[in-house]
């Protein structure tokens, strides 16, 4: 096939190629991207030139609660993962996650929050205190004889503060972004779809 033949072939199928570019590929790419980014949650890392593992959450492996059984950034609701969406447009697609805490997890950075100390929070703190005791009864010297986790939960349950001042550095656990593997899959899909149209 000469270059002129190829140009003629493109011209003959220009409407189909335009439809693929403007309408079909944004949907195809959106679906591929969402699938790829959700897989990052299952693998507990970001796939780009291989798997870049996330820093593990502290709750993992403690065995003290149901939350310890879930992977980093996941829970029984899988809210963060299931909120990865795509919005197709004309020859483009936008991948997003509108969960308020999505960006800080994806990019990492300082967190400074001031939650109110509510009766519900105090009740939860007492429950965690007794859970941390693990059947152990506090002795006379309470702070020495019980686990430090229990000491912290008891302090929260008894605090006179009405608001907490919590500051910490959120580690970067990227789940959305540029990925070589995803780009390669998209390029292969594009070539496959063009080949079908041109029958080559």
Indicate if 146 and 95 belong to the same structural domain.
no
The answer to whether 84 touches 34, Cβ cutoff 8 Å, is: yes
Indicate if 135 and 68 belong to the same structural domain.
no
Indicate if 130 and 33 belong to the same structural domain.
no
Indicate if 96 and 24 belong to the same structural domain.
yes
Number of domains observed in the structure of the chain? 2
Enter the pTM of the model: 0.77
- Cβ-Cβ contacts under 8 Å for 185 (sequence gap 6 or more): 32, 36
- Cβ-Cβ contacts under 8 Å for 40 (sequence gap 6 or more): 46, 47, 174, 175
Indicate if 41 and 101 belong to the same structural domain.
yes
The stretch 171-198 carries a mean pLDDT of 96
Indicate if 53 and 143 belong to the same structural domain.
no
Indicate if 160 and 69 belong to the same structural domain.
no
Cα gap 49→80, rounded to integer Å: 24
pLDDT tens digits for 81-130? Answer: 999 999 999 999 999 999 999 999 999 999 999 999 999 999 999 999 98
Pull the structure tokens for residue 100: 């308020």
The answer to whether 102 touches 81, Cβ cutoff 8 Å, is: no
Indicate if 94 and 60 belong to the same structural domain.
yes
- Cβ-Cβ contacts under 8 Å for 5 (sequence gap 6 or more): none
Which pLDDT value is given to residue 76?
Answer: 65
The stretch 154-159 carries a mean pLDDT of 94
Task: Determine the structural domain holding residue 120 and report its residue range.
Answer: 115-164
């Amino acid at each position: 096939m000469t270059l002129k033949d190829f140009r003629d072939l493109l011209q003959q199928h220009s409407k189909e190629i335009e439809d693929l570019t403007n309408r079909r590929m944004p949907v195809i790419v959106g679906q591929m991207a969402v699938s790829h980014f959700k897989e990052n949650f299952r693998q507990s890392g970001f796939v780009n030139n291989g798997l870049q593992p996330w820093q593990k959450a502290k709750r993992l492996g403690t065995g003290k609660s149901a939350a310890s059984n879930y992977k980093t950034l996941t829970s029984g609701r899988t809210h963060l993962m299931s909120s990865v969406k795509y919005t197709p447009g004309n020859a483009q697609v936008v991948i997003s996650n509108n969960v308020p805490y999505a960006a800080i997890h994806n990019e990492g950075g300082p967190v400074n929050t001031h939650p109110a100390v509510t009766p519900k929070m105090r009740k939860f703190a007492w429950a965690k205190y007794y859970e941390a005791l693990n059947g152990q009864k506090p002795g006379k010297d309470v702070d020495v004889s019980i686990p430090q986790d229990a000491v912290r939960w008891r302090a929260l349950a008894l605090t006179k503060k009405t608001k907490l001042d919590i500051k910490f550095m959120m580690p970067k656990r990227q789940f959305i972004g540029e990925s070589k593997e995803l780009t390669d899959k998209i390029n292969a899909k594009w070539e496959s779809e063009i080949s079908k149209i041109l029958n080559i």
